[in-house]
Amino acid sequence: MLSLIVLAVTLTLVQGSAEVVRITLDKSITVKEGNDANIECHVKSHVNKTTVTWRRGDTKLTNDYRMTIDETLHEENEEDNTTTIISILSIKNVKEEDRDYYMCDVSYYHDAVNKTCYLRIKDRLAALWPAVGIIAEVIVLIVILFCTKKWGSIKGGRGESYSLKTTADTTTDNPPRNEEDIRLRSINT
């Protein structure tokens, strides 16, 4: 009878191990190139011996001249017996090659859970490219209009586009030469 009770407690601990530690981490963040990136990993744990590490791919990250890991014990809640840990991975002066998945890895007892965050790097000149595109379009349109105007002046003599002339237009272009022309033109109009 005693062995059944112990077995039930062990199963409960194993089944509930997924809820022992909860990680909150953004799926992705976007930072302008040259700025600093801060990726925050919030860990709520029911276990006293919780360790937080950061990884990039298979590489464990440590403090260096550009990357620092700051881990603070934020709060201990005695009501539900939890501890909240905030671990911040800071990357100074981010570059294009820093774009990657960063993993917050939380270890406790013989188990571990993790979540990843994708760091997106926005180009410094990203806001400039749409303006450059618009200016290029305007320049191309001006060149096209100038070339068609020039082509029309070579072809038509006055740079006018080709159009069909009506009989009323021809009366103003060609003055009458004699009375018969005047009579014919007045009948036509």
102-119, pLDDT tens digit by residue?
999 998 888 888 999 999
Residue of 144, 143, 162 whose CA lies nearest to 152? 162
Q: Output the six-digit token pair for 180.
A: 């018969």
**10 Å Cβ neighbour count for 39?**
21
What integer pLDDT is reported at residue 27 of this predicted model? 94
Mean pLDDT taken over the chain: 76
Which of the four pLDDT bands, split at 50, 70 and 90, describes residue 90?
very high
Predicted TM-score (pTM) above 0.75: no
- Map residue 29 onto helix, strand or coil: strand
What integer pLDDT is reported at residue 31 of this predicted model? 93
Task: Express as a percent the part of the chain with pLDDT over 90.
Answer: 32
Answer for the pair 56, 103: CB distance below 8 angstroms, yes or no.
yes
Convert the pLDDT of each residue in 17-46 to its tens digit. Answer: 446 788 888 999 999 999 999 999 999 888
